[in-house]
Structure 1
Amino acid sequence: MALAVLLAALLGLVVIVKWFLFQPRNPSSPPCIGSWIPWVGAAFQFGKASLEFIEQARSKHGPVFTVFALGKRFTFVTEEEGAEAFFKSKDLNFEQAVQQAVENAVSVPAEAFYQNHSTLYSMMKGKMGPSNLHMFTGTLCRELHEHMGHLGTKGAGDLNDLVRHVMYPAVVNTLFGKGICPTSQSELKEFEEHFQKYDEDFEYASQMPECFLRNWSKSKKWLLKLFEKVVSDAERTNPSETTSKTLLQHLLDNLQGKHLAPSYGLLMLWASQANAVPIAFWTLVFILSYPSIYKKVMEDLTSVFGKAGKDKIEVSEEDLKNLPFIKWCTLEAIRLRSPGAITKKVINPIRIQVRVGVFVVVSFFVSSEGCFRRVLYDSSMILLEKRRLRGDLITVYNFLVRGSGEAGDLFSVITSDRTCGNGVKLRQGKLRLDIRKRFFTERVVAHWNRLPSEVVTAPGLSEFKKRLDCALSHMV
């Protein structure tokens, strides 16, 4: 009897394994890339070199294919039909795509996540929107001066460490309030060890159970315990005047379920550091890597703030408007970062016939030429795409009007009578970055050369903007 039960159990196990490994595929479903390892699937191949993996899969399987990894199915769409469905379909949901990641990362249950997501997203978007960023400028400048003063006037070290040691306390004190989070040298060491471990493995830990990442789990629990005190201090000092509140205090005011405050506080801390530190680092790397770019940046700073001295510089919103070249360097640094992808979850079958529960992924870096342009210009994303192009063209206009002597590094002007269209065409210069296929000069030259003559010869910036807006309304 016992032997019969054992044989039946073994037979059942074989059937289950065979079903998982060799289950028949629906002929109308996209081809699926996995491996012989249950649950893990293609995670190792995908994680090693994501872009190469996706490009090879696209070449082999076509524009729509599925990758099975870590127990989930991710269907990639790389052509116009799939991208159009991704952006327009109401049967795809972003919240459901990120909910499990948030639960794994900071222990927020699904019900609480859905209850708070819309409210907190709207609050954050409003407080950190372009029209309100000037409210953070003064505090951030003072914090940067204070912590850069600790560096001294000479010495050498790792640039990434330098940026992190300056940016972390400056950003934290600005968003959370002075002294709310640990920023003193005596408190920082243990905190840095835990936060760096938490940050380094965040992408993996947000996609898999904690039991596979014990050290990460230990750091997460330590940080959540720390944030119980952080939240308590923020609530104790929470003012009644809205204008005096920190971003953390606004979050606490809008949060439903106060016991989750440490979790959302930790998530906010990670989000602020995950963006601020790498972008500051890459902006400095980009500027310091090219002497001509560095020279131009220093000239612009001198023209706005005067020669460098011992006096502390106060940066205003108006000052930043007079530094478009530095803004361009920052935007280019953002594009230097590791390319990402947008993920949504299928909640009802969509036109490309991806089954319910699958995650649909679209990446600007692996899709065919023109795919996104056609789709974006037919959707609400048109405003974002046009705003970026408009900013690029305004930067070129300012650059040409100011007549920088370093223009040859970026592009040169062709003023021959034989040119068709406008008479102030650009030719791309030698400045290139191999790690990006769409560097600024490559992206903007073609658009500039298609502008009508009356736009590029506008007598001033305000007139150029008016004529550019008119021209962009007809450009594809």
Structure 2
Amino acid sequence: MSALLLLLLGLLSLFFFFCLLRGRNRRDGEPPLIKGWIPFIGKALEFGQDAHKFLEKHKRKYGDVFTVHLAGKYMTFIMDPLLYPSIIKHGRQLDFHEFAAKVAPVTFGYPFVVPALQEQIHRSFKLLQGDNLSTLTESMMGNLMLVLRQDHMGGERGGGWRSASMYDFCNSVMFEATFLTMYGRPAGASRHSGMSALRDDFVRFDNMFPLLIAGIPVWLLGRTKAVRDKLIGYFLPHRMSCWSNTSEFIRTRSGLFEQYDALRDVDKAAHHFAILWASVGNTIPATFWAVYYLVSHPAALQRVRQEIHDLLRLDGVEFSSDADLALDREQLEKLVYLESAINESLRLSSASMNIRVAQEDFSLRLDAERSLGVRKGDFIALYPQSMHLDPDIYAQPQSFRVDRYIRDGRLKTDFYKDGQKLKYYLMPFGSGSSMCPGRYFAVNEIKQFLCLLLLYFDLQLEEDQSRATQDLSRAGLGVMLPAADVRFRYKLRTV
């Protein structure tokens, strides 16, 4: 063994020893501390393999509250959903926005935003709700019809089956329709050229998204920076200025960026790219799972399809597969079985982690009997997937039940844990100040896509393939992607 290698091994041993000496120890009043033996890494590798399994194992051992060392961060997990309101109501001492403001610029490649602009950007998200939601919903309906009719409705009615990969099918339609709805159409055309290539680059970036969020420098991730730069380039102001029918949300944000001379054109474009990811990064996999579970349960699919036909009949709409369909926001709200099916698929597929960062050392009151010591800079985390799969809350939690969120013909909102009604029982979109501002638009998009798919097409899974499973590498970041795509068949219905 060379002298240089011996020196390196010695230095490495000293580093490990130094890290162990500096390791954090539990103080009085703090929850159990799970450190792991690998310096800095802690329990990150075990957590990353299966976060839900990891947390449930330690819940059985340590109880409902414990702190885990994960990649240099100390995260205190609150596992009892009855305690969620105690965390969510804190504003000053537990903050989300500071964390997001640090992570997003590094992930999407734009500079840190001054507080004044950050506040204006935050206010712009209101344009995804209220009356503006109706306009967005109407636009999305037209764009879904456009893409589906041009790409998938050719040929004779009652023609043969077509075979496709389900995630790729959902991705291609939802990505382009959402893009057109948010950013508008190119000059002199109804669809952007090169959309397939743009989507492929987006997928390449999205595959690296968990590593970027974890803090891995982009220059260590192969061609990820080049792919991100290419995606950002699509949104440069001189390109976007030629697009028409752009949503008010994007127009408003573009106007805000123009007011700040410190922002370069590439910085403005990076902000728009971040919104593209926010618009489709979780909505597309959520759409896939909703389609997959319905197609996997033909009786549930037929129940939802019948509800849509009943709505059209009651509203005096004579559906024809030869004509385009328009469903507005008010009509979508009446489809309770459809909403229950989407909620159920979100329950089974979402694995978001709700994070707050302690702004100071303080004692966090959990309930009338319990408080815990929290250190400045620590993360307080809720992991709703554990609640979503809790058999005490949801009977047979691994099963898809299309009517799980329905009672007496209306959406069910009362779920219980240990005999107490839960304030929070379904949390795919975050909570409190970190709740996704585009959640209403996202759910409407999925509803519209499912309505069109069920009305215009017959759908079947292909035989001799394994059931879809989840890619666990996305745990904590939102809706899981499928570990592998599934094959299905579709053909035009003769209605």
Provide the TM-score with structure 1 as the length reference.
Answer: 0.69
Matched, 1:164 2:171: yes
Counterpart for residue 362 of structure 1: 382
Partner SS state of residue 214, structure 1: coil
* In structure 2, distance between residues paired with 1:280 and 1:195: 17
Counterpart for residue 180 of structure 2: 173
Which letter maps to 1:46? F
Counterpart for residue 315 of structure 1: 327
Matched, 1:329 2:341: yes
Structure with the bigger percentage of strand: 2
Partner SS state of residue 74, structure 1: strand
Which letter maps to 1:93? D
Mark the CA change 1:367 to 1:25 in structure 2 (over 3 Å): closer, same or farther: farther
Render the CA deviation track for 1:410-467: whole Å, top value 9, x for unaligned.
xxxxxxxxxxxxxxxxxx9x9975379x94369949769x9xxxxxxxxxxxxxxxxx
How far 1:307 sits from its partner (Å)? 4.2
How far 1:206 sits from its partner (Å)? 1.6
Q: List aligned pairs for 1:7-406, cutoff 5 A.
A: 16-22=15-21, 23=23, 25-28=25-28, 29-79=30-80, 84-85=86-87, 87-88=89-90, 90-110=92-112, 112=113, 114-124=115-125, 126-149=126-149, 150-151=151-152, 152-153=154-155, 154-179=161-186, 187-208=194-215, 209-228=217-236, 231-235=237-241, 246-255=248-257, 256=260, 257-259=262-264, 260-303=267-310, 304=312, 305-351=317-363, 352-366=372-386
Mark the CA change 1:75 to 1:136 in structure 2 (over 3 Å): closer, same or farther: same
Mark the CA change 1:277 to 1:356 in structure 2 (over 3 Å): closer, same or farther: same
Mark the CA change 1:47 to 1:12 in structure 2 (over 3 Å): closer, same or farther: closer
Mark the CA change 1:337 to 1:27 in structure 2 (over 3 Å): closer, same or farther: same
How far 1:187 sits from its partner (Å)? 1.3
Partner SS state of residue 133, structure 1: helix
Counterpart for residue 472 of structure 1: none
Matched, 1:434 2:454: no
5+ long unaligned stretches in structure 2: 156-160, 364-371, 420-495
Asked whether the 8 Å contact 1:343–1:362 carries over to 2, the reply is yes
Mark the CA change 1:324 to 1:117 in structure 2 (over 3 Å): closer, same or farther: same
How far 1:318 sits from its partner (Å)? 3.8
Render the CA deviation track for 1:289-322: whole Å, top value 9, x for unaligned.
2222222222222230434430111222343244
Report how many residues are paired.
378
> Which 10-residue stretch deviates more, 171-180 or 130-139?
130-139
Asked whether the 8 Å contact 1:78–1:368 carries over to 2, the reply is no
Which letter maps to 1:234? M
* In structure 2, distance between residues paired with 1:59 and 1:113: 44
Render the CA deviation track for 1:117-156: whole Å, top value 9, x for unaligned.
33222211x1111443111233222211111121235411
* In structure 2, distance between residues paired with 1:271 and 1:369: 25
Partner SS state of residue 156, structure 1: strand
How far 1:67 sits from its partner (Å)? 1.9
* In structure 1, distance between residues paired with 2:396 and 2:142: 35
* In structure 2, distance between residues paired with 1:100 and 1:446: 37
Which letter maps to 1:213? L
Which letter maps to 2:172? H
How far 1:254 sits from its partner (Å)? 2.5
Which letter maps to 1:95? H
Asked whether the 8 Å contact 2:183–2:243 carries over to 1, the reply is no
Mark the CA change 1:212 to 1:75 in structure 2 (over 3 Å): closer, same or farther: farther
How far 1:346 sits from its partner (Å)? 0.9
How far 1:159 sits from its partner (Å)? 1.2
Asked whether the 8 Å contact 1:51–1:366 carries over to 2, the reply is yes
* In structure 1, distance between residues paired with 2:185 and 2:78: 46
Decide which structure has the larger Cα Rg and report it. Answer: 1
Counterpart for residue 402 of structure 1: none
* In structure 2, distance between residues paired with 1:34 and 1:25: 9
> Which 10-residue stretch deviates more, 10-19 or 322-331?
10-19
Render the CA deviation track for 1:379-399: whole Å, top value 9, x for unaligned.
xxxxxxxxxxxxxxxxxxxxx
* In structure 2, distance between residues paired with 1:275 and 1:24: 35
How far 1:245 sits from its partner (Å)? 5.1
Structure with the bigger percentage of helix: 1
Mark the CA change 1:431 to 1:35 in structure 2 (over 3 Å): closer, same or farther: closer
How far 1:14 sits from its partner (Å)? 5.5
Asked whether the 8 Å contact 1:96–1:344 carries over to 2, the reply is no
* In structure 1, distance between residues paired with 2:389 and 2:338: 29
* In structure 2, distance between residues paired with 1:39 and 1:225: 36
Provide the TM-score with structure 2 as the length reference.
Answer: 0.66
* In structure 1, distance between residues paired with 2:190 and 2:76: 43
Mark the CA change 1:35 to 1:174 in structure 2 (over 3 Å): closer, same or farther: same
How far 1:108 sits from its partner (Å)? 3.1
Asked whether the 8 Å contact 1:77–1:83 carries over to 2, the reply is no
How far 1:37 sits from its partner (Å)? 3.2
